[in-house]
Chains A and B, each alone.
Chain A
Amino acid sequence: MTATETRTYRAGEFHSFEGGGRRFLYLVPAGAVFELDSAAEKLLDRLRTGHADHDELMSELVAAGHSYSDADELLEELYHSHVIVTGDTVREPLANPPEDFPLQSLVMNLTNQCNLSCTYCYEFGEDKVATPEGKAKFMDMETAMASVDFLLGQSGTRQNVHITFFGGETLMNFPLLKSVVAYANDRAASQGRSIDFSLTTNATLLTPAIIQFLSENRIGVTVSMDGPPDLHNKLRVFANGRGSYDIIEPRVKALIANHRTRPITARVTLTSGVTDVVRIYRHLKQELGFHEIGFAPVTTSPDRLYSINEPGMNGVLAQFKVLADEWLEFALRGEMHGFSNVSDTIAELIQGVNKSHPCGAALGLVGVGPSGDIAPCHRFVDSDTHSMGHISTGIDRDKQSDFLTRGHINSKYDCHSCWARPLCAGGCHHEAFVRYGDTGHANLHYCDWIREWTDICLRIYGAVSANNPEFLDQFAERKAL
């Protein structure tokens, strides 16, 4: 028997939401989602106003028509799930990931050169962290092979690992990409493991032969593209200022038509004046035929002309909501919608992730620059400040530990009272550095936005789990693209 008599309860840390006409809660310390029955709902409403002790609640429940055992069961369930807590409950800090966390992905920057001059580029733009002066411009085969061996060697017992090819413009070093695919497949197969590939490209250099190679080798492709010509050409320009839309349009169409082995994704960077999310989505999905489209606001310091201000971000949210509602309609009919911002969040909600760090950077993922320098992720590649070792000598554990300690949710005090922290964990390390000069700073400029967006996704999750739960199964194995 437990001494329940002395317990004084208050509401635990959760976010309530409705979906599909039912009431749910998102239990923050765990990342768990529960649907409430009416008794639990009433009890939590009762505790919204403050504390109540066990006996008091028991008498109220019995007076409301519950049997004694049912009332007791209700309180015990809520208490042991930490939905309600006693007054002396303190927050438990999240544990650190294991120090020998095995690698899952390696982002290989085949080159830091690019044939476009997109104004907002985090590698070359005004807020760049890269210091490529004096370093190799193109990765050589030796470094690439060492990177593959490094990934396989540092990935523990994982059966399947992943390489993302990146740039600069990835396809400016396509010969190396081809050799790496062959080498990596060979090495993985010799260990009885598998390796898969994806790449990000601006699509300017796609040729039928390249497309055929990508399709034959099941290489996932993400195209950086910002929408129809008037929006895309604003910032995605060649060095002479000419927009790149006309060059890439036929190539993207050929890619989608002929690459049949993996879904083709567009990745849209939203900037001031390029916030017409619904129109961009319609263009990329319906007119060009991308399978999925993901959006992200540009990473920038707030005083750049292309930075989106707060009213702009509210507009973005309103348009995200339109697409999210559409996503839900599709899901209830059992159809896939291509708005990957929702799909990625749903995949995380299915697992109930509770992140110690916002992403896998420096944990399960590292970036490798053309010179062989290791960085926490592709966004920090070629930066002297953020270098985390070299492919020939391995990860510098001190620097890695410093990066991970800063980025840990336990160090971000601003996040400790936020219900969206299991999913957000303070947001992108790189964005934090650009905004605040510290990779471990919480990205406070979009907190409200993230909470509203997470709430929208939770409502969708609730509605689908109530009305078409089997639909969620297909997201269970999904990883963010």
Chain B
Amino acid sequence: MKHLRAVNKKARRIDEMVTSRNADVVALQQQRPHVPMGCTLSFSPGWEVDSAGGTAGLCQPVERDIYDCYVTCFWPAQVPDHLNNYPDWASKCATATKDWRNLDLVFP
């Protein structure tokens, strides 16, 4: 903190708590950033739009987004979870750019 200087252990714990509260975007603010694999820091062009503002001209299909979320991140609300309930959801999709049609809907 800037205006209060912690001078005992308890104060330092409060300092940490208050400071971490402000750091709501933690990924790039830590000394060793948390890098979510397959997401924004790796090249996954499906996250973008094409030059016309649509998704038709992307070099990877837009469905690749979902596939990235499934394999490398864990967004249980958006994609079937591969840890417990749908371990085989992507088993027929060896190469997302070719097999993305095999990623089917699931009905929980």
Residues in chain A within 8 A of chain B (CB atoms) = 24, 27, 30-37, 39-40, 70, 73-74, 76-78, 80-81, 83, 349-354, 461-462, 465, 469
A76-B22, A80-B18 as given contacts; A354 in contact with B3, CB under 8 Å: no
Complex Cα distance, B8 from A35, in Å, reads 10
Contacts of B5 in A (CB 8 A): 34-37
Could you tell me the distance between the alpha carbons of A27 and B8 in the complex, rounded to whole angstroms? Answer: 11
Given A36-B3, A40-B3, A73-B3: A349 touches B18 (CB 8 Å cut-off):
no
A34 B18 Cβ-Cβ under 8 A = no
Q: Which of A31, A32, A37, A351 contacts B3 (CB 8 A)?
A: A37
Contact of A352 with B1 at beta-carbon distance under 8 Å, contacts A32-B14, A77-B18, A81-B18 already known: no
6 closest pairs, A vs B, by CB?
A352-B10, A32-B11, A35-B5, A32-B10, A40-B3, A34-B4
Q: Is the pair B2, A32 in contact by a Cβ cutoff of 8 Å?
A: no
Interface size class of B (residues with CB under 8 A): 10 to 19
Q: With contacts defined as CB atoms under 8 Å apart, how many contacts are there between chain A and chain B in the complex?
A: 79
Contacting pair B8 A350 (CB below 8 A): yes
CB distance from A258 to the nearest CB of B (A): 38
Q: Given the interface contacts A76-B22, A81-B18, does A27 sit within 8 Å of B11 by beta carbon?
A: yes
- A35 close to B10 (CB less than 8 A): no
The distance from the CB of A39 to the nearest CB of chain B, in whole angstroms, is 6
CA distance A70 to B2 in the complex (A): 9
Q: Closest Cβ of chain A: how far from B8's Cβ, in Å?
A: 4
Nearest chain A CB to B14 CB, angstrom units: 5
Which residue on chain A has the smallest CB distance to residue B3? A40
0/1 string, B15-39, CB within 8 A of A gives 1: 1011001100000000000000000
Q: Which residues of B contact A (CB under 8 A)?
A: 1-11, 13-15, 17-18, 21-22
Please determine whether B2 and A77 come into contact, CB atoms closer than 8 angstroms. Answer: yes
CA distance A73 to B4 in the complex (A): 11
**A39 to chain B: which residues have CB within 8 Å?**
3
Chain B residues closer than 8 Å to A77, beta-carbon distance: 1-4, 18
- Knowing A76-B22, A77-B18, A80-B21, the reply to whether A33 touches B11 (Cβ < 8 A) is yes
A80-B21, A81-B18 known; A352+B4 contact, CB < 8 A: no
Asked if B3 and A33 sit within 8 Å, CB to CB, the answer is: no
Once A30-B14, A32-B14 are accepted as A-B contacts, the answer to whether A78 and B8 lie under 8 Å apart by CB is: no
Asked whether, in the complex, the Cβ of B18 is within 8 Å of the Cβ of A351, the reply is no
Inside 8 A of B2's CB, which chain A residues have their CB?
37, 70, 73-74, 77
A-B contact pairs, 5 of them (CB 8 A): A27-B14, A33-B11, A81-B14, A350-B9, A461-B7
Q: What is the minimal beta-carbon distance from B2 to any residue of chain A, in angstroms?
A: 6
Q: Are B9 and A351 in contact (CB under 8 A)?
A: yes
Extra contacts besides A32-B10, A40-B4 (8): CB < 8 Å? A31-B8, A32-B8, A32-B13, A34-B5, A78-B4, A83-B4, A352-B9, A469-B7
Question: Is there an interface contact between B7 and A31, defined as CB atoms closer than 8 Å?
Answer: no
Q: Is the CB of B21 within 8 A of A35?
A: no
Give chain B residues whose Cβ lies under 8 Å from the Cβ of A83.
Answer: 4
On chain A, the residues within 8 Å of B3 by CB distance are 36-37, 39-40, 73-74, 77-78
Question: Which A residues lie within 8 Å of B14 (CB)?
Answer: 27, 30, 32, 81
Q: Is the CB of A34 within 8 A of B7?
A: yes
- Distance to closest chain A CB from B47 (angstroms): 26
**Which residues of chain A are within 8 angstroms of B11 by Cβ–Cβ distance?**
27, 30, 32-34, 352
